[in-house]
Amino acid sequence: MTATTDGSAGAVSPRAAAASTTHDTDAPASGLDAAAARAAERAVENLLARQDPEGWWKGDLETNVTMDAEDLLLRQFLGILDADTLRAAALHIRREQREDGAWATFYGGPGEVSATVEAYVALRLAGDPPEAPHMARASAWVRARGGIAAARVFTRIWLALFGWWRWEDLPELPPELIFLPKWFPLNIYDFGCWARQTIVPLTVVSAKRPVRPAPFPLDELHTDPARPNPPRPLAPATGWDGIFQRLDKALHAYHRIAPRALRGTAMNVAARWIIERQENDGCWGGIQPPAVYSVIALHLLGYDLDHPVMRAGLESLDRFAVWREDGPPGPDGQGGAPTRMIEACQSPVWDTCLAAIALADGGLPPDHPALVKAVDWMLDEEITRTGDWAVRRPGLPPGGWAFEFHNDNYPDIDDTAEVVLALRRVRHPDPARVDAAVARGTRWTLGMQSRNGAWAAFDADNTSPFPNKLPFCDFGEVVDPPSADVTAHVVEMLAYEGRAQDPRTRRGIEWLLANQEPNGAWFGRWGVNHVYGTGSVLPALTAAGLPVSHPAVRRAVRWLGTVQNEDGGWGEDLRSYEDEAWIGRGASTASQTAWALIALLAAGERDSEPVRRGIAWLAETQREDGSWDEPYFTGTGFPWDFSINYHLYRLVFPLTALGRYVHGEPSPGKER
């Protein structure tokens, strides 16, 4: 493991080799083919063993300790924090601390102020004294970087709930926002669905400004406890920052004079909006943050903890917890004490469709019972009711799939494309049922195309420039613009459905070609980063009929060759979202190596040296159980701001790459 200049472990410098070993690329091709076939067989066995009896797959979805800290703070706020939960969560949080006292938001990454503040507060709740060495290192690290005042707005909201920060010193977000018409700037549908579901309940919290008694002070996290939030100069009124700063000042003034009847009505409308979007299992959108803030908002509006809405919401939050028995020894020194990690989201639909594709590519017969069972489950998960996406597409019939177990209000285009691709790889005993679901999903996906010809994840034309400029919105991407990876998956799906010549598909292809980076890669919105984007786009372009000799394909192939690591694998660090020096650079990972190989195989490079070296790296780094080690985060929630380690990526994508190397590329269907 290599240490970076900032002291973090687990990352390599942009120009460093990812490992000291090289592979014998002079080995006979037949020997490599045999090694690839054996690796694919072991991966198939591992993946089959992971399938749930109901037919789905789901790997852990690992993010960062803010999820754990905020879960504890919610329970403290509601008065339901129990000792076992606190102890297990604290063990997990302690284990994630860096040597310098900080917490990072991804494996091997630099320390981050907000994550460190929230983790520190959670450990104080668990009884860790501020003078303990690990706590003293953390508080010193925070103070050296500006203290709590340097933390993001969301962190300071959590602190305000306990009086550790003044509500008056937070950006204002009035509940009257719910009244803005859909055509008006900054209406709630100008925000991406994940931000929308979070912001609506937070308008209620912002209006109520609750404070629970703080169980301890946090003076040690301020640079100057007597002056924790020194005033900041206003930006010039001629720029957007200055305009929105002044708008925030006006909203603070309005908070003091807001008509009580109007504000009460706004909060009631917000409550109805929240409750209408609660899923059947009690969650909101299948993701943890909206559920947390929705529970707080409804509680502030008088919903007691035994109310059915609240009870279902709290039960859904319990399902985001991953309990493990692999923690440090308990106080008696005997055995491993349990730890508790909170998933920000759960990904069964995504994992299942990717697993089905991987198994089909890995050589499993198309009518294998595991694949048929997976298709049965995916068909049952189809969404056939209208959701918030209809605000921009009011006449479009519903269809498609979401990412999670329960998220009927927000199906997503990426999952829908990949599910359709998976369904077409299986010989199901009821083909008419499959055809009908595919037809609905394809129709809905085509209807969700944005004006520029590309596709986003959840909404069409969700590209307002204003939400990201609000002082409140400093927690990551809050709009949902089209991206190359989603557009590529849609184009690939349409090609396999015989629609490669459809004008809408051609517009998507044109957008992809126009958005190729100068270096030959494509930016990755939902995976890290240019390796993911390129690994998504090349298979789509060739499936849609672009010849492998096309200049865009050749540029991408050359780029992948230039960023291959000396050990034969590929890797790209999350810092590539912030620093161009990291583009295509990082420790080799199984998933990113697979993405590069999938792209190169689609481009006709099976017998090339980069492919041989990449396949050798996968074969030689495979574990005995058929999987791969991958501590690095290769998934993205918000580029740079929120990173994800999908624990199944280390298996499904390498199997897909190995399978396509051994058995050949899947072929699109004929035009219909």
Catalytic site positions: 414
Q: Is the dihedral of CA 285, 287, 289, 294 positive or negative?
A: positive
Q: Is the dihedral of CA 280, 286, 292, 298 positive or negative?
A: negative
Structure tokens at 569: 């694998």
Structure tokens at 205: 């919290």
φ, ψ (nearest 5 deg) of residue 382: -60, 140
Give, in order, the Cα–Cα distances in Å from 480 to each of 191, 389, 454, 556. 8, 12, 12, 26
Structure tokens at 362: 């890995």
What's the CA gap between 99 and 342, in Å, rounded?
A: 23
Give, in order, the Cα–Cα distances in Å from 46 to each of 38, 264, 369. 13, 55, 16
**CA distance between the termini of the chain:** 52
Reduce the secondary structure of 87-113 to three states and give it as a string.
HHHHHHHHHCCCCCCCCECCCCCCECH
Give, in order, the Cα–Cα distances in Å from 226 to each of 129, 221, 455, 657. 22, 12, 50, 58
* In contact, 671 and 621? CB cutoff 8 Å: no
What's the CA gap between 344 and 412, in Å, rounded?
A: 17
What's the CA gap between 56 and 69, in Å, rounded?
A: 30
What's the CA gap between 311 and 320, in Å, rounded?
A: 15
φ, ψ (nearest 5 deg) of residue 284: -125, 115
SS3 501: coil
What's the CA gap between 174 and 180, in Å, rounded?
A: 11
What's the CA gap between 588 and 610, in Å, rounded?
A: 14
How many C-alpha atoms does 382 have within 13 Å on its Cβ side? 23
| Element at 322 (helix H, strand E) | strand 321-324
* Residue type (1 letter), 346: Q
SS3 307: coil
What's the CA gap between 43 and 46, in Å, rounded?
A: 5
Task: Count Cβ neighbours within 10 Å for each residue of 235-256 and write b for 16 or more, e otherwise.
Answer: eeeeeeeeebbebbeebbeebe
What's the CA gap between 30 and 27, in Å, rounded?
A: 8
